[in-house]
Amino acid sequence: MFQEKRVTAVLLAGGSGSRFGGAKNKVYVEANGLPILEYSRRALEASPLVDELVIVVRKEDEKEIQKFLIRTKKPVQMVLGGATRQESVYHALKAAGGEIVLIQDGARPMLTERYIRDCIEQMAFYPGATIAVRSKDTIKLSNTEGIVVSTTRRADTWIVQTPQCFQKEVLLSAHEKERGNLEITDDCMLLELAGLPVKLVEGEYSNIKVTTGEDLALAERFLELQAGEGEEQDHGKK
């Protein structure tokens, strides 16, 4: 049964954050008093489905990450990221001890137990799964000159988020086949290229990735709303 398989959560904290502005890695910027990365780390720490953590970091952030390693009660490893997201995930996969890997962007602070559970549950049926939301807009595909080539069918168009979950050996094999492919933007693409199915698990539009200062302001508001919902649920139990 999939529930009996060990789960490694990979927390990606090795991005440059160049679009965010400033020299500091965006995952360490505070949102409502906590570093952005800490929200995902706490969610993974609290999940009964996660057995261990692998945190991917930049070499220049090794000292910064130590405070997060100390706070984590579950088994945790730190691995250095590569030049690309694909290389960073590959390094994490080589260190992961679980048969299932759950990959989370450190810049997405809205991770919930529902996302974690729903993705892991799909491992009983599919080699890969990802949280995603249906596109609200019409999406155009263009050529290199910016000319529209085609239009996607909105009902079939999704915006992919994280967490993404995979059977580790399947994903590792897919990575090894596509080493150095600069067209890879997420791990689901690797399974697509291998002809393997990836299950889309419907998430929420609030599960944003903090890339700009405007994203940070929006994330802070979503976090306030999430905290308020949690307080209401706690009062309801009393």
| Cis peptide, bond prior to residue 163, ω within 30 of zero | yes
Q: Is residue 232 scored above 80 in pLDDT?
A: no
Name the band, by pLDDT with cuts 50, 70 and 90, for residue 196: very high
In the chain, alpha helices (H): 36-46, 62-71, 85-95, 113-121, 168-177, 187-193, 213-237
* Residue 198: both structure tokens together: 């990836």
Distance of alpha carbon 203 from alpha carbon 132, whole angstroms: 5
CATH for 104? 3.90.550.10
Query: What pLDDT is recorded for position 14?
Result: 82
Give pTM, 2 decimals: 0.91
Query: What pLDDT is recorded for position 15?
Result: 67
* Residue 135: both structure tokens together: 């596109």
| Least confidently predicted of 96-100, 176-180, 224-228 | 224-228
Residue-wise pLDDT for 35-59, tens only, equals 999 999 999 999 999 999 999 999 9
Give the distance, in angstroms, between the CA of residue 169 and the centroid of all CA atoms in the same chain: 19
How big, in percent rounded to 5, are the helix, strand and coil portions of the chain? 40, 25, 35
Amino acid identity of residue 217, one-letter, is A
User: Residue 27 sits in which domain range?
Assistant: 2-237
Query: What pLDDT is recorded for position 1?
Result: 43
Q: Is residue 216 scored above 90 in pLDDT?
A: yes
**How many domains are contained in the chain?**
1
Residue-wise pLDDT for 76-119, tens only, equals 999 999 989 999 999 999 999 999 999 999 999 999 999 999 99
